[in-house]
Structures are given as C-alpha cells and as structure tokens.
A and B are shown apart, each in its own frame.
Chain A
Amino acid sequence: MHLISPGTKADRVASVIKKELRQIMRDKRSLGILFFIPLFMLVMFGYALNFDVKHTSLAVVDLDLSRESRHLISEFSHSEYFTVKQLPAAVKELDHLLGSEKVRAAIVIPRGYADELARGRSPTVQVILDGVNANAANTIQGYLNAFFQNYSYQLTIKVARRLGAAAISQPIDYRPRIWFNSELKSAKFLIPGLIGFILMVVGVISTSLSIVKEKERGTMEQILVSPIKPLELIMGKTMPYIAISLLSTAIILVVGYILFDVHVTGSLLLLFLTTFIFLLGALGMGLLISSISETQQLAFLVAVISTILPSFLLSGFVFSIRNMPEAIQLITYAVPTRYYLVALRGIILKGAGFGAIWDQLLFLTGFAAVMLLVSAIRIKRAGL
C-alpha cells in the first residue's frame, strides 16, 4: 500500500463547497428559506409596512351649514392628504364612524361659525383623532395643524384686504423640497433595510445549522480527522452561502425595482462589496453560534434571538434610531446590521461613494474579522 499525496488546499475547499451545494440543492426546505422567504418578506414588508399617510378619511359635521363652513370643507377635499368621506348630521354619529374605522379623524364645525368669523372672533373647530395607531395619529395631527394654520392665515389676509390693507402678503414663502426620497415613499426606506434584515437572519441561521447538523450526525468528527484545516472548512462552508446570499440580494434589488421603483443611485460594485463584508460577519456569527451549540434546536434558537430582534428593532430597519431613548441608542452600536443599513441606504438612496460610508465599512470589517477569527479558534480548540 502506498500513501496518496494529500491534495492542495484549494482541492479540499472545493470538495467542501461541492458537497455543501449538493446538500443545499437536495434540501428543498433550506432552498425555500434561502430564496422564497426573502421574496415573501419583500412583498409583505413592501406593501404592508406602509408609513405613508395620504388621503386620510375624514368625517365633517357641519352644524353651521353656511357658505363659510362649506368653503372650509371644500378646502379639505382639495388637499391630497384628506378625503372627506362622511358628512354626518349630528355629532353623536361620530362615535360609530370612528369606532368602526370608517374614518380616521373627524372635524366638527360649530353652529355660529360664520357669524363668529364675521364678528372677528375666533370660532372653535373641534378635531377628533383615532389614536389607536399612535404614529399615524401623530402624522395626521401634524397635517391638520398645518392645514388650519394655513387656512386661518388665508382668512386673516382676506379680512385684512377687505379692511384696506391691500399690500399684505405672507411673511415667509415656505417651499419644502425633499432630497433622496422625494416622494417620501416608505418602500424606498424599507427595501435597503429589508436586505440587511434578510441577509442577517438567513445568513446566520443557515450557517449555524449547517455545522451543528454535522456535529449531531458525527460527520464533523470524520472531517476533523482528515487533513482539512479549520480555516479551509470554514471557507468551504461559507462560500456557498455567500454566493447564494449575494444572489438573493440581487433578486431583492430587481424585485424592489419592479414592484416599488427602488433603484440603486450609487455604485453597484460598492453595494456588493459592502454586502460581501457584511455577509462575512453574519456567517462568522453563524459559525460561532454552531461552535457553542450542541443541538440544531439550540443553534436555531440562539440564531433567531440574536438576529431577528436586534435586526428588526435596533438596526434602524423600521424604527428610527434617532427617536430611541439614549440607553437604547447605545445598544444599537453593537448591532452590525445598523452599520450595514447606513451604508446601504447611503448607496441606494443617496448615491453615496466610498468616502461617505468608509466608517461603516470599517466597523463591518472589524465585526467580520472578530467573528471569523473567534470561530476558527473555537473550531480548532474544541474540535467543534
């Protein structure tokens, strides 16, 4: 018998990659997790997680029935923010309308509205909001405030002109212009966040399971007695998932463009480079989880808890970090998805270049290095 020369490093890594791909392709469930879930989430989040508040349905109770009150109602109708859905005759009907969510806000124009205006006194117009969705109620209240201020101002000018002040005009000409997401569409804000969320969750869960499965089956032991080195094993295990995740990213971008008109303003190369670095960290984290877990159930649990909640709540994906309490804001610095999202939103929405996001990349690189290093050490020392 003679000894067959042990192959090169690249041969061994290639064997692992080939084996992983075969296993992934054979396991329809993990294929589904890798491709279907991201698309499902994209559509769900894209359509369901909509923060846009437009055409708020209003009920207006006009107790005055004057020319002035009708003018006020028609002004509402002209605004794209409001739609006057109901004109009930009595205030008591509002209970039912708001309770059944037929309208989200109600306006009550009091009897004597026109009279009081004519006498130069300020009539009181009542505004009732449905506060169940606090975020939306806040936004609607803001729109109503602006609307009434503007309307009052128009009335003031009218009166002033009638009194002879012909030259009166608006002191400040306010012209807002919004950059980067000019239509203020939530989808544009959400899709980069969704990519980060999906990559983190899918990347960590799939790698953590892929190694624990081998530990449970005993195949890890078989690999560890072979000449393959821990780093080669890690490379062979992560590379297929990196390729699949990058493909997944591309699919999300294409579908995001088709369904939500989100296009990448910045460099695609920079986008994929950033994603690659982020993925290294996520997969390293998955490896680390599997090196400390004994069973697939435990690994799955740890992976889910350590990715879904932080990436959903603390990364700035859905909730703005700036609005969080200071203590929570500090915690978000430990969430890698946070840095990825800043970079990704920069590239996709603002066309940011390397110079604008290098600090985020630096953190992501550090995160990836630490995760991969620690897991390689653990695999080497504990034999997984």
Chain B
Amino acid sequence: MIAPSIMADKLSKHFGGFVAVDNVSFEVREGEIFGFLGANGAGKSTTIKMLCGLLSSSSGTARVGGYDINRQADLVKKNIGYMSQKFSLYEDLTVAENIEFFGGVYGLDGQNLKSRKQWALEMAGLSGRERSLTRELAGGLKQRLALGCAILHKPKILFLDEPTGGVDPVSRRSFWDLINELSGGGTTIFVTTHYLDEAEYCNVITLMHAGRIVASGSPNQLKKEWIKNPILEFKSGDVVKAMGMIQGQPWALETTIFGNSLHVSVKEVQPGIREIIKAVGADNIRPENIREVSPTLEDVFITLIDKKVPAETSKGK
C-alpha cells in the first residue's frame, strides 16, 4: 500500500481559550480530490494553514507528502501548491511578471521557467495578454492565473482554500474541469469550499463543524448513510408560508427551503404526497407537481448538523 499523501493525526489548534480545530484525524490518498466542508469558522482554513506550514499546530501532527508539518516545514513547502480565495497575485504586475516572480520563488529558471510560463498562460487562457496588468483581469481569469502560479513547480499536493469565491458559475465550472484534470494526472487535491454543489466533484468529503469532523466519505456514501427516507420536492410561490404549514407535522421528518422549492423528508412517498396536499391546500398545489428527488449533499448536511450539533450555533473564526 502506498503511504497517504496527507495524514492528519489528532491535529488541534487553540487560539487562547478558543479551540479552532479539535483533535482532527484523516487521510488523503494520492490523486484524490479531498473536499473539506463546513460553515465559516468551522475550522477549515485553520486546518489548511497548519497543513501548509502557515500555522503551527497546538497539538497532534500531520504528514504532508511524507513530511512532518512541524519539523519539516521547509520540505513540505517545496512539495505543495497553495491557492486561497484571495487569488493572491500582484495586481500592479503584469501577467508575465507574476508568473516569473512565483516561478523564481520556487526555483524555476531558464528553459524550465519558459516552458512552464507558456503552459500557465495557455491553461489560464491568457496567451497574448502577458503584458496586461493583473488588476485589469476579470475574476475568472485571475483565478486561473492564480492557480497557474500555484502549480508552476508541479507540486504533488495542491491546497485550495475556497478557490471559487466571487467567481461566476461558468468560470467555476471550468475551474473544476481543470482540477479534475490535475487529479487525473496524479496530483492530490485538498480543497475547502462551502458550495455544496462543488462538493459533488470530490472523491471524499469531510464535514467539519465547530472544529471537529462530523462525517466523512464519498458523496454517495454520505447520502446513503444519512438519508434513509425519501425526499419530496415541490415548488411554491411562497415557500416560507408553505414551510410554516408543513413544519412540525408528525409525518414531515425534515423540511428545508431550496430556492423557490421545498424539500420535505417523509417516511413513504404516496402518503407523504397526500399529507402535503392536505396541509398546503388542494387549491395551491396538485399531486403531479410533487416529485421524489434524490438527496443532495445539502440534505445530508442539514440532517447531519441537526443531529450532531443540536442548538449549538457555529462560532466565529
């Protein structure tokens, strides 16, 4: 068996009396896309910062690419790429200058730098715009350039901290295509996100809440494990009102708003549909408008958070 790319062992981080990350253990295999999910302040960024050597752990340890994060931080840094939601580029430098700088910091030179620069420009769709100032680029292009700069040195492990924040849906989609490509090439991807639709792209998902891991597995495993009951979906002109009528009924196990539709978890499909019509009123809804849907990760997480952490609100960072 090959050693895992990343292995965290009882990793903890305290800031004064506040426990940001609490005894977290997990493994990430080579070439895997590992999604780290959770609300803001759940401890995702703190964990990623410890793994990248930006923060030292209060207790516990982790190995990244086979190196200890506390004792071999220098070796860890040489083997990883990191990109954060800020797309940390120099806005007052041109596209080419940014690539040259990050290449230089990672020790690329001569022919090597030249070919990687060409590669990054093509990957980011910025060929011919080498001399544009970075501040003039659109969000999606900046994001791809930032990714290009983060992997110029072909790291074995890539950390992405909320990589799609503030980027339009089309760019997000093509960004994930890139990530899949990298993963296919053998790069291990460790990604945090709070977009649950993005989490579907991951091989393994780990959900963090208040500094702890509350669930882990592939998206399908999680759905099977946590969603035992069918979910009914219907659209409504006034979802909040409809929810008020359904929530609290003994047959409605779980009620969640998804945009302008409502998800209701019930014991059985047909009786469930009848109950919904009874509750909302036959004037407002017809049976054919209510259908069973396969659970989304959002259903999973709402169930999880409700079960595991009742009445506890998430803390600030």
Contact = CB atoms under 8 A, between A and B. Distances in A.
B88 A383 contact: no
A18 interface: yes
A1 B108 CA distance: 15
Contacts of A23: 90, 92-93
B6 interface: no
Interface residues of B, number: 42
B171 to A, nearest CB: 19
Nearest to B90: A219
Contacts, number: 106
Nearest to A6: B107
Contacts of B103: 15
Given A23-B93, A222-B88, A4 B108 contact: yes
B108 A7 contact: yes
A79 B105 CA distance: 69
Contacts of A226: 77, 102, 105-106
A120 interface: no
A226 B80 CA distance: 8
Interface of B is mostly: loop
Contacts of A221: 54, 82, 84, 86, 88
A288 to B, nearest CB: 21
Interface in B87-146: 87-93, 97, 100-109, 112
B107 A5 contact: yes
Q: How large is the interface on A (under 10, 10 to 19, 20 to 34, 35 or more residues)?
A: 20 to 34
Contact of B74 (A14, A19, A227): A227
A18 B101 contact: yes
Contact of B185 (A1, A15, A26): A1
Contacts of A12: 104-105, 107
Nearest to B48: A225
Contact of B92 (A18, A26, A223): A26
A218 B90 contact: no
B154 A225 contact: no
Interface in B28-83: 52-55, 74, 77-80, 82-83
A4 B151 CA distance: 11
Nearest to A8: B107
A15 to B, nearest CB: 3
A3 B65 CA distance: 12
A5 B185 CA distance: 20
Contacts of A1: 154, 156, 185-187
Contacts of B209: none
Interface of B: 52-55, 74, 77-80, 82-84, 86-93, 97, 100-109, 112, 149-150, 153-156, 159, 185-187
25 contacts: A1-B156, A1-B186, A4-B107, A4-B108, A6-B78, A6-B106, A7-B107, A7-B109, A11-B107, A14-B104, A19-B104, A27-B92, A221-B84, A221-B88, A222-B88, A222-B102, A222-B149, A224-B54, A225-B77, A225-B82, A226-B105, A226-B106, A227-B105, A227-B107, A229-B74
Interface of A: 1-8, 11-12, 14-16, 18-19, 22-23, 26-27, 217-219, 221-229, 383
Top 7 nearest A-B pairs (CB, nearest first) are A7-B107, A15-B104, A218-B86, A222-B88, A218-B88, A225-B82, A6-B107
